[in-house]
Amino acid sequence: MLFDKKNILITGGTGSLGRTLVKRIMDGVLGRPKRIIIFSRDEAKHHRMKLDWKNIKYATDDIFYRNFEEILDFRIGDVRDYESVLSAARDSDIIIHAAALKQVPVCEYFPYEAVKTNILGAQNISRATIELDGKIETVLAISTDKACKPINTYGMCKAIQERIILTANLSCSKTRFICVRYGNVIASTGSVIPLFKQQIKNGGPLTITTRDMTRFFLNLDQAVDTIFEAFKSGKSGETYIPIVPSAKITDLAEIMIGKRDIEISIIGIRPGEKIHEILVSEEESKRTIRRNNYYVICSILPEISQIPITETVLKDEYSSADRLMNKQELENILKEQGHLEF
């Protein structure tokens, strides 16, 4: 069992993905961990997550007493700070690197802040792991569709993050460095479904940047499934991509509006925004294989890649503009996941 009796460090562990990831790990499907270290610089999110974990409604600062004796170990720290990263890594067997500055417009207006979190943070994870020389069994980094053919600061930073993490296999062969890459997670913090729900409650309008916009439809559990699959079968230097359906955002808006008298307003593309999500580029398709229900991009470096590519599974890029769901298929998914109940 991959996680059995292991110490697991999750950077950015108080975010939407981190919270779902912790719950799924605690289910014990991949083994019962010894400890899960929740590493984040946001003390308020730490506090709320700790309350939820203990099923307590209100508490004072004493919630952190005896923190280090419990299976969920909350650590205040910043991936930008090497010393705090190294301190947390020393107590870990597995690292899941989910910390990121990820809001696209924010990264456009504050690009160097994105560099410090998304690039320097990855370098600190890599450096700490290499310094510990084989103590860490696996480092898995969370990437994004925006790292593929990047046009915005966030994507550019994440593309470099992927290279930093995966290239670390050359410097620390005792540790397996792998990545997962996926698009926007529906209904997560900052995504379009919570926005549309709020706009509908306020009487509209629903704001859409362009009528051509498409997105992959991946929920938090599917994101965690991708992480688990990469842990189970990923090889050094590989990047896992979930194979999921996609849809037009105008279809999403119309289904959520239903019979309500609410308008859709086209407001124009935001700084750095892409019209379609691309998870595998045309160039990467030449070194992409399929494993179970996932595409797997093999390392660009021949010293790392362990699988000879004899037959490609993609003839072109893997984009949300392809394989679009019709409105009925999309509505069925929204109903199944409870997104039409508000």
**Cα(80)–Cα(120) distance, rounded to whole angstroms?**
6
Give CA torsion, residues 69, 70, 72, 74, to 10 deg: -40
Alpha helices in the chain (DSSP H): 16-26, 43-54, 82-90, 104-109, 111-114, 121-131, 153-167, 192-201, 220-233, 249-257, 282-285, 327-336
- Whether the predicted model's global pTM rises above the 0.75 cut: yes
State residue 186's pLDDT score. 80
CATH architecture of the domain with residue range 7-183+218-244+280-319: 3-Layer(aba) Sandwich (3.40)
Pick from 180, 77, 91, 73: which is nearest to 124 by CA? 77
- Paired residues of 96 in beta bridges: 10, 140
Contact between 189 and 19 under an 8 Å Cβ cutoff? The reply is no
Catalytic member of 50, 102, 146, 248 = 146
**Cα(137)–Cα(134) distance, rounded to whole angstroms?**
7
- Paired residues of 239 in beta bridges: 179, 297
Instruction: Give pLDDT < 50 ranges for the chain.
Output: 65, 68
Contact between 104 and 152 under an 8 Å Cβ cutoff? The reply is yes
Judge whether 146 counts as a catalytic residue.
Answer: yes
Q: Is 31 left (phi over 0), alpha (psi -120 to 50) or beta?
A: left
State residue 57's pLDDT score. 66
- The model's pLDDT over 216-262, given as tens digits with 9 standing for 90+, comes to 999 999 999 999 999 999 999 999 999 999 999 999 999 999 999 99
Q: Is 255 left (phi over 0), alpha (psi -120 to 50) or beta?
A: alpha
Q: What average pLDDT does the chain have?
A: 91
Q: Is it true that the peptide bond before 205 is cis, omega within 30 degrees of 0?
A: yes
**Cα(9)–Cα(24) distance, rounded to whole angstroms?**
15
State residue 300's pLDDT score. 93
């506090």: which residue's tokens?
47
State residue 192's pLDDT score. 87
